[in-house]
Amino acid sequence: MRIYCMTDIHGCLEPFLKALETVDMESEDSMLVLLGDYCDRGPDSLGVFRTVMGLQERYGARVIALRGNHEEQLLEYMSNVDNPDFAQAWKLADSNLATARSFLEPDEFEHVRHLLVLKRFEEAYRYTVGRIRKSHGDVIRWVRRLPYYWESPFGQVFVHAGIYEEAGVDWWKPGTPGEFFTSMPPMYVGQHFDLDVIAGHVNTEAVSGIAGYRGIWHDGTSHYYIDGNVMKNGEVAVLTYDSETGRYSGPGLGRH
């Protein structure tokens, strides 16, 4: 079996489509695992969500989509429309309202922009959530069902940010708090774990500490970080795992 893996697409539909061209999903022996953060920052969050949903429709269980912290945030905005404190938080977290813009029709977005100019934040927030619910409720329901991790039959955990490894191989599942999976796990760089952990969330330049690093980074033991920072580098890195040989390959990796 071949497992392809990508993460942190962040609304960058074009680079995502380009990365998908390098993936052969027609073979029944292929899987695609996406580690979350489909939205925010880039120009077409909705397009990325719909592309992933389409891949699942076409290839069924061979496409696994996990949730990232940006999906958690999106769900939070969608469900807190009656909480006025969220109006400000919403505006700040979706920088430049890139995600809202991708979900709205141009005239709807103009209306939101107009409300913001008038400092009617609460109304803008309420209107945006209402439009998204009405036109793209299926996407929001899909996001709500995204799992936190996927364990492969090959001694691997795929996850957006990480797991609580101190809990050990038998207890990490019940032992990892939800926010560790998507946002703030302890870092175990360079420490051995009995499963390989494949994660995104922190870009590989940051996690490797090597200025200008791009692509995929292996810590020499159990951790593969695969967020190659598409906003900076314009490319979505693809990690490939071949279960026949037990090898990982991808940009930045030698042969492992």
Residues lying near Mn ion in the complex (CB under 5 A) are found at 37, 68-69, 201
Nearest distance, CB of residue 248 and Mn ion, angstroms: 21
Task: Rank residues 225 and 248 by Cβ distance to Mn ion and give the closer one.
Answer: 225
Nearer to Mn ion, 25 or 98 (CB): 98
CB 27 to Mn ion: min, Å: 30
Listing from the earlier edge strand, what are the strands of the sheet with 196-199?
A: 149-152, 156-159, 196-199, 223-225, 217-218
Shortest CB 202 distance to Mn ion, Å: 8
User: Whole-angstrom Cα distance, residue 102 to residue 72?
Assistant: 18
Least Å distance between CB 25 and Mn ion? 24
Query: CA 17 to CA 6: how far, in whole Å?
Result: 12
CB of 199 or CB of 253, closer to Mn ion: 199
DSSP structural state of residue 219:
-
**What does residue 5 show for φ and ψ, rounded to 5 degrees?**
-140, 135
Instruction: Classify residue 74 by burial, with Cβ atoms within 10 Å: 0-12, 13-18, 19+.
Output: buried
Query: Quick one: tokens of 252?
Result: 């930045």
Sorted by sequence, the CB contacts under 8 Å of residue 42 that are 6+ apart come out as 9, 10, 11, 12, 13, 48, 98, 230, 231
Nearest-angstrom CA–CA distance, 29 and 192: 29
Residue nearest to Mn ion (CB): 201
Smallest distance from Mn ion to CB 100, Å:
19
Q: Is 72 or 108 the residue whose CB approaches Mn ion more closely?
A: 72
Cβ proximity to Mn ion, 99 vs 112, nearer residue: 99
Is residue 108 within 8 Å of residue 114, measured between CB atoms?
no
If the CB atoms of residues 11 and 104 are measured against Mn ion, the closer one turns out to be: 11
CB of 7 to Mn ion, least distance (A): 8
Q: Which is nearer to Mn ion, 37 or 94 (CB)?
A: 37
C-alpha to C-alpha distance for 136 and 147, rounded to whole angstroms: 20
